[in-house]
Amino acid sequence: MANGKNMLEDAGVMPNPTVQKLYEGCKIAREGKADLILAVGGGSVCDYAKAVSVSAYCTEDPWEKYYLQMKDVDNEIIPVGCVLTMAGTGSEMNGGAVITNHEQKLKIGHVFDERVYPKFSILNQVYTYTLPQYQMIAGIYDIYN
């Protein structure tokens, strides 16, 4: 690229991102030497990006350390920016990240310190116009939970 930066894509982030996906994202971020993670999507994508940001350079198993033991981050963190395509998630404005481990039948959120908050968040309501009605309704109900 003209600015000397490489761009990598980590597609396929599902609702309620899994620990397996987290491990995959950590590998991509480490091997690509990511210096920014840009989350483009809804709350699950933002949560996933924040989880990868704290986990990519974790020398232990991040699931065990951050989600089961709820330890503080003591390693390098990759900054995150968010471009929202879904209104009302709140994930673009906090340091929390929810990850699901189907094998252990656990869905755990860890609220990290302010270093994990996205460095910027953009929400242009026009991006939400193309969402299916079901997704908008799910998002509205999510606000109340």
Query: Is 120 part of any domain?
Result: yes
- The total domain count for the chain is 1
Average pLDDT, the chain: 91
Query: Is 62 part of any domain?
Result: yes
Residues 71 and 67: their CA atoms lie apart, in Å, by 8
What residue numbers bound the domain in which 54 lies? Answer: 19-144
Query: Is 4 part of any domain?
Result: no
Q: Which two tokens stand for residue 115?
A: 């270093």
Cα–chain-centroid distance for residue 103?
Answer: 20
Whether residue 89 has pLDDT greater than 80:
no
Query: Is 26 part of any domain?
Result: yes
Query: Is 45 part of any domain?
Result: yes
* pTM as predicted: 0.89
Instruction: Give the confidence band of 100 by pLDDT, cuts at 50, 70, 90.
Output: very high
Whether residue 1 has pLDDT greater than 90:
no
Name the burial class of residue 9, with classes exposed (0-12), middle (13-18) and buried (19+) by CB atoms within 10 angstroms of its CB: exposed
Q: How far is CA 142 from CA 20, 97, 136, in A?
A: 24, 15, 10
Query: Is 94 part of any domain?
Result: yes
Whether residue 2 has pLDDT greater than 70:
no
75 contacts: CB under 8 Å, gap ≥ 6 = 54, 57, 58, 59
Between 109 and 130, name the one with better pLDDT. 109
Residue with token string 């924040």? 50
Query: Is 42 part of any domain?
Result: yes
Instruction: Give the per-residue pLDDT at 18.
Output: 98
Residues 40 and 76: their CA atoms lie apart, in Å, by 22
**Can you give the CATH number for the domain in which 115 is found?**
3.40.50.1970
Query: Is 14 part of any domain?
Result: no
Average the pLDDT over 43-48 and give the result.
94
Average the pLDDT over 50-62 and give the result.
98
Instruction: Give the per-residue pLDDT at 4.
Output: 78
